[in-house]
């Protein structure tokens, strides 16, 4: 075998501290510069170190070999504190069994069945907006996507107070988890208001979600959704009638799905609306598409292939502002990655932001250009260079569900409203477990008031597609 090449260290590190200062000061800029140093680059944070994969082919190898490059290390130890051993955080040894059990909830037939509930929730949300109202876009989208996750996956209707508390707790946890992976655990025990809030959220969120499980078990109705699947699962190998998942395991899964599904989809929609606000020419084309495809009625599953530009806008938003912007793996055996030798115990880091902004993979990478995804584009992006949903066996289980939900939401909003940027507002990426458009407030202007579009009346439609499940 060829001799392994030495792994370059990222430039700009300091003795003892390593790269902790640029990482904490400007993490996105720091990541985006790493490919200049090599295709696999070592970074150091004080005593910790990780290898960052900067090349799509090497990353493909990492994502496909999920036994050698397993979930583990500081990020997952911290994430398991509140996601438990759910699908997104469990190690390879538990993963296949869990994924087999939960995958049917994302079968194409199920996705089609979720659409009426999704459309109903979107229509209800946008129906509550007032012409000229200023929206806190991220908060509105978070509530929308949280409700969609709960309506479709768990078929329950928590009160607004319960939902808001769950969302608040989720935000507290997600805001802290990334920082906690690089700070010493002793700091978590200090009685600061921030630590107290974190601890409270960590115990309260599972408790809130536990109620969902208890209520549904008591009701005993099979809704054919994710929660029903978990409540009725039996181990096919043992042939036993014993329930496969204990209530605590089900709560871990619910926290995982609620955590993974709410913030990511909400940020994608918020970024898309922000980008459209800044690109009125693309917004006009979007309006033309939704007016022609939907013609004033609610979107159905069958419309999705014809909402072609809407889909490309979501894809390009996911390229520029993948809400999930980095993940790690732990190397479980000595191995080779391309020309490099990687010892067991090494932390590997991959980043959507880093890969999606490389000029050799995406010409003019900072430009919002949905047409780079057009089917007849002469140089389409490389498959393995587009990883908003990760890849391999750990690829997002809900990638199709998330794509169709965000496309339906964007189309439904665009049919009825224009969201205008507020003059003088400065939108900046707010970086935590997901990247959100920080400070994004927009004015909702009814399209009927601008003299275009099918207008509010017709979007309410004839109700055929609006029957909520549950």
* Residues of this chain that bind ligand HEM (CB under 6 A): 87-88, 99, 149, 153, 256-257, 260-261, 264-265, 268, 322-324, 327, 388-390, 394, 396-398, 401-402, 406
- Kindly tell me which of 304 and 397 has the beta carbon lying closer to ligand HEM: 397
Shortest CB 201 distance to ligand HEM, Å: 20
Shortest CB 128 distance to ligand HEM, Å: 22
Q: What 3-state DSSP class applies to 115?
A: helix
Which two tokens mark 101?
């059990």
CA distances from residue 387 to 132, 143, 460 in whole angstroms, order as listed: 37, 26, 36
Terminal alpha carbon distance of the chain: 59
CA 237 to chain centre: 33
- Kindly tell me which of 265 and 282 has the beta carbon lying closer to ligand HEM: 265
CA 22 to CA 17: how far, in whole Å?
A: 10
- Kindly tell me which of 153 and 173 has the beta carbon lying closer to ligand HEM: 153
Shortest CB 186 distance to ligand HEM, Å: 27
Shortest CB 84 distance to ligand HEM, Å: 12
Residue indicated by tokens 């389409």: 380
In this structure, the number of other CB atoms found within 10 A of the CB of residue 417 comes to 26
CA distances from residue 373 to 265, 308, 369, 379 in whole angstroms, order as listed: 20, 10, 8, 9
- Kindly tell me which of 180 and 356 has the beta carbon lying closer to ligand HEM: 356
- Kindly tell me which of 346 and 406 has the beta carbon lying closer to ligand HEM: 406
- Kindly tell me which of 396 and 459 has the beta carbon lying closer to ligand HEM: 396
Rounded-to-5 percentages of helix, strand, coil across the chain: 55, 15, 30
Shortest CB 226 distance to ligand HEM, Å: 8
Q: What 3-state DSSP class applies to 329?
A: strand
- Kindly tell me which of 76 and 297 has the beta carbon lying closer to ligand HEM: 76
Shortest CB 408 distance to ligand HEM, Å: 13
Shortest CB 91 distance to ligand HEM, Å: 10
CA distances from residue 4 to 10, 43, 333, 334, 342 in whole angstroms, order as listed: 18, 19, 16, 12, 9
Which two tokens mark 32?
């985006």
């Amino acid at each position: 075998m060829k001799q392994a090449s030495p792994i370059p260290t990222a430039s700009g590190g300091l003795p003892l501290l390593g790269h902790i200062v640029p990482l904490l000061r400007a993490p996105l800029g720091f990541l985006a510069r790493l490919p200049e140093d090599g295709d696999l680059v070592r970074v150091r944070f004080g005593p910790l170190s990780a290898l960052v994969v900067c090349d799509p082919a090497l990353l493909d190898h990492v994502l496909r070999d999920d036994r050698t490059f397993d979930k583990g290390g500081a990020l997952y130890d911290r994430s398991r504190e509140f996601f438990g051993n759910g699908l997104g955080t469990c190690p390879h040894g538990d993963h296949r069994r869990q994924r087999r059990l939960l995958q049917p909830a994302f079968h194409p037939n199920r996705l089609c069945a979720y659409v009426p509930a999704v459309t109903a929730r979107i229509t209800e949300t946008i129906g509550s907006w007032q012409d000229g109202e200023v929206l806190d876009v991220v908060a509105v989208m978070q509530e929308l996507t949280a409700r969609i996750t709960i309506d479709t996956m768990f078929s329950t209707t928590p009160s607004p107070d319960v939902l808001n508390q769950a969302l608040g707790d989720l935000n507290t946890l997600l805001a802290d988890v990334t920082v906690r992976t690089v700070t010493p655990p002793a700091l978590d025990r200090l009685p600061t208001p921030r630590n107290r809030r974190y601890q409270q959220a960590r115990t309260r969120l599972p408790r809130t979600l536990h109620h969902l499980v208890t209520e549904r078990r008591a009701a005993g109705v099979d809704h054919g959704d994710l929660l029903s699947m978990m409540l009725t699962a039996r181990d096919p190998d043992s042939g036993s009638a014993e329930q496969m998942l204990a209530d605590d395991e089900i709560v871990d899964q619910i926290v995982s799905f609620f955590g993974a599904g709410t913030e990511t989809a909400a940020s994608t929609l918020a970024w898309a609306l922000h980008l459209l606000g800044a690109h009125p020419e693309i917004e006009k084309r979007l309006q033309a598409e939704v007016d022609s495809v939907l013609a004033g009625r609610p979107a159905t599953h069958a419309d999705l292939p014809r909402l072609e530009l809407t889909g490309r806008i979501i894809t390009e938003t996911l390229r520029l502002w993948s809400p999930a912007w980095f993940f790690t793996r732990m190397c479980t055996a000595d191995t080779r990655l391309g020309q490099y030798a990687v010892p067991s115990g090494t932390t590997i880091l991959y980043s959507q932001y880093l890969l999606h902004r490389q000029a050799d993979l995406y010409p003019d990478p900072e430009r919002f250009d949905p047409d780079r995804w057009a089917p007849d584009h002469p140089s389409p992006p490389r498959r393995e260079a587009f990883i908003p949903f990760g890849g391999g066996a750990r690829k997002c289980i809900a990638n199709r569900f998330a794509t169709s939900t965000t496309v339906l939401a964007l189309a439904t909003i665009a049919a009825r409203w224009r969201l205008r940027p507020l003059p003088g507002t400065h939108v900046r990426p707010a970086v935590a477990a997901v990247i959100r458009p920080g400070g994004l407030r927009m004015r909702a202007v009814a399209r009927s008031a601008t003299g275009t579009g099918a207008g509010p009346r017709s979007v309410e439609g004839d109700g055929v597609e609006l029957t909520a499940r549950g």
